[in-house]
């Protein structure tokens, strides 16, 4: 399980680094290629367009080749895309290379959390899946530090990601396939071997294997499979919650800050060095608060942690927008603006950002899990793409402060949506979650009731 979590972490690291490195690199790229905001948006967004394609394509690959086989393909594409981007001679080639790189990013975000969730014991599932999310924070922090140094050429900074991608490829060669996918394909013996490799030595996996087999049989009889299965009425509540949560993780404003904070700050009169140092502070905050969230999520609960932190994120953006709207965004107010940005990052990274990938790996029934995770990833990346392609234009049109207010409103809407629709999944096995769906008991209140076997949600 340590190696499984490590592979998941490397894929998250690559996602965080490859998307975050563009923030500081854009300052160098725009000077070298002599480009403006339009091309900057295209270069930043191209990786997101590729991620949408990767998420949808790798869903089918995960069903046909297995989770492990798909991650092998993803790792290879990471290497190719990274090298191509680092050697790009012009903005067109750079955008196309980042499009290829985006395929790997989307494929990793769709497949890695599902792979870990299907191998992990219920007790540790949340923490192991969130290794992926934490690694995203590490990748973003490393990227901001590299960008802030200003001594590393952007080509070297981008190309360095090929090393962890190659390590991921090598590690995947020694890992087992998902036991749930193997049972679904009628390979129970191999599924038993896979479980035994990731459980304590001598542990009896017969009960767990029997539970998986029973669920697979019931789903095959019901013909609820793949993308078609997502349209089934009993699966739809999970799809609504999962995709809604994915959309709001982006509308929270996190990507606006990660991708464009140096550009926003320099356009508002901040020096390049100050803007890049702020990016490092934000990257560090992202990582620290995610580690705190990782430590407490299984005790506090997924739903509660999200609902407690969303109001703080909305208030931070409201205050931040007020600084710019009232003209209090000069040098004297820099400390207050930075504190507000850090507060926003803490509330967002330690709350709703933890849930985006975790729910996609556990909320859907087994037979639709790959398709559901792909739909959720595509929703996330599609929203991210729309934001990245339009953000600088929106700022030019309505102003920096008003844009922050707009995203504060999105956080309020997210709170209302999740309060009404998102159940508490902490402490539930994948099979229990699926049972709730099948019985039409997927509202928050339904998960507060005792289980039929006498257990209760923690």
Residue 169 tokens read as 């490829």
Tokens describing residue 54: 């990767």
Name the one residue in this structure whose structure tokens are 């160098």. 28
What residues contact 80, with CB distance under 8 A and at least 6 apart?
100
Domain regions of the chain by residue span: 2-175+223-448
At a CB cut-off of 8 Å and minimum separation 6, what does 262 contact?
Answer: 23, 24, 26, 27, 147, 272, 275, 276, 278, 279
- Cα end-to-end span (Å), the chain: 24
Q: Classify 2-175+223-448 by CATH class.
A: mainly alpha
Any idea what DSSP says for residue 176? P
- Provide the b/e sequence for 215-234 (b: ≥16 CB within 10 Å): bbeebeeeebbbbebbebeb
Backbone φ and ψ of 201, nearest 5°: -55, 130
Cα-based torsion angle of the residue sequence 48, 396, 261, 319 in order, rounded to the nearest 10 degrees: -120
pLDDT in tens, 122-180: 777 666 766 777 788 888 888 888 877 777 888 999 999 999 999 999 998 888 998 88
Among 98, 113, 206, 248, which Cα is nearest to 158's? 98
For residue 273, what pLDDT is reported? Answer: 75
Reported as a single tens digit per residue, the pLDDT across 24-42 is: 788 788 888 988 778 888 8
DSSP state of 268: T
Task: Give how far the C-alpha of residue 93 lies from the chain's centroid of Cα atoms, to the nearest Å.
Answer: 26
Dihedral of CA 286/22/361/440: which sign? positive
pLDDT digits (tens, 9 = 90+) for 217-263: 766 776 667 788 888 888 999 999 999 999 999 999 887 787 667 76
Instruction: Find tokens 């003209």 and name the residue.
Output: 327
Length of the chain: 458
Which residues, at least 6 apart from 220, have a Cβ–Cβ distance to it below 8 Å?
367
């Amino acid at each position: 399980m340590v190696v499984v979590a490590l592979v998941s972490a490397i894929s998250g690291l690559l996602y965080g680094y490859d998307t975050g490195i563009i923030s500081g690199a854009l300052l160098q790229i725009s000077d070298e290629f002599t480009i403006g905001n339009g091309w900057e948006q295209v270069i930043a967004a191209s990786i997101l367009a590729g991620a949408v394609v990767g998420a949808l394509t790798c869903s089918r690959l995960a069903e046909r080749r297995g989770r492990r086989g798909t991650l092998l393909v993803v790792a290879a594409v990471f290497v190719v895309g990274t090298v191509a981007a680092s050697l790009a001679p012009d903005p067109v080639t750079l955008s196309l290379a980042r499009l290829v790189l985006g395929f790997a990013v989307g494929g990793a975000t769709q497949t890695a959390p599902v792979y870990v969730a299907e191998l992990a014991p219920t007790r540790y599932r949340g923490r192991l899946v969130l290794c992926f999310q934490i690694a995203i924070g590490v990748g973003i922090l490393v990227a901001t530090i590299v960008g802030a140094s200003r001594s590393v050429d952007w080509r070297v900074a981008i190309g360095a990601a090929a090393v962890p991608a190659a390590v991921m490829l090598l590690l995947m060669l020694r890992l087992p396939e998902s036991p749930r996918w193997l049972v679904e394909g009628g390979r129970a013996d191999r599924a038993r071997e896979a479980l035994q490799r990731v459980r304590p030595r001598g542990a009896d996996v017969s009960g767990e294997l029997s539970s998986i087999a029973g669920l697979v049989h019931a789903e095959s009889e019901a013909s609820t499979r793949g993308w078609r299965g997502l349209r089934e009425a009993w699966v739809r509540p999970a799809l609504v919650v999962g995709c809604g949560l994915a959309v709001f993780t982006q509308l929270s404003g996190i990507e606006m800050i990660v991708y464009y904070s140096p550009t926003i700050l320099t356009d508002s009169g901040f020096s390049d060095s100050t803007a890049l140092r702020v990016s490092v502070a934000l990257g560090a905050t992202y990582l620290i608060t995610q580690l705190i969230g990782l430590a407490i999520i299984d005790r506090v609960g997924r739903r509660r942690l999200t609902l407690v932190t969303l109001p703080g994120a909305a208030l931070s953006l409201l205050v931040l927008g007020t600084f710019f709207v009232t003209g209090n965004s000069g040098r004297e107010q820099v400390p207050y603006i930075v504190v507000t940005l850090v507060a926003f990052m803490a509330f967002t990274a330690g709350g709703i950002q933890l849930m985006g990938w975790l729910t996609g790996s556990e909320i859907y029934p087994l037979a639709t899990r790959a398709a559901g995770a792909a739909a959720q990833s595509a929703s996330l990346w599609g929203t991210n793409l729309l934001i990245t392609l339009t953000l600088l234009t929106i700022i030019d049109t309505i102003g920096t402060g008003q844009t922050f207010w707009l995203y504060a409103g999105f956080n309020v809407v997210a709170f209302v949506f999740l309060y009404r629709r998102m159940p508490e999944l902490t402490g539930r096995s994948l099979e229990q979650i699926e049972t709730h769906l099948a019985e039409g008991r997927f509202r928050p209140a339904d998960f507060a009731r005792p289980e039929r076997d006498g257990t209760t949600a923690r």
